[in-house]
Amino acid sequence: MTEITQRLQTYSQTLVAKYRHNNVKTDEVHFWDCEKQPSFEAMACADSELFYAAECSQKAIASFQVEKDGVGLKGNNLQMVIQYSPEWCKVNSMCLCDSSIFASH
């Protein structure tokens, strides 16, 4: 039990140091595999891990998964699902109904 506790503490301390070194806030979803972090206007939660969001810079609805790493929230598998019209100034809200995503813009 002592060895498991020490390993968990080492893991946690290493992760906390990584978050501090990269100026990552632990209360935000961070995509470690993206050089430039995405910026979202609106989100809809499909289940406990899958999210859909309106990504600002690419003007697209994106899907991604979120996992807890023991310190913060890690975004994975970011994929652009569909581009939306550049004429949409801002996506205000999104919701899911059956297999459709509805967006208010």
In a domain, 8, yes or no: no
Stated pTM of the model: 0.78
Tokens matching residue 67: 């996992």
DSSP characters over 36-71: S---EEEEEE-SSSEEEEEETTTTEEEEEEEEE-SS
pLDDT band at residue 62 using 50, 70 and 90 as cut-offs: very high
In a domain, 19, yes or no: no
Q: Which has more pLDDT, 99 or 62? A: 62
> What is the per-residue pLDDT across 9-58, written as a single tens digit (0 to 9) for each?
888 888 888 888 888 888 888 898 888 899 999 999 888 889 999 999 88
**Mean pLDDT, residues 93-97:** 87
Rounded Cα gap, residues 58 and 67, in angstroms: 23
In a domain, 66, yes or no: yes
Rounded Cα gap, residues 98 and 105, in angstroms: 20
**Structural domains counted in the chain:** 1
Give me the domain span that covers residue 60.
Answer: 25-104
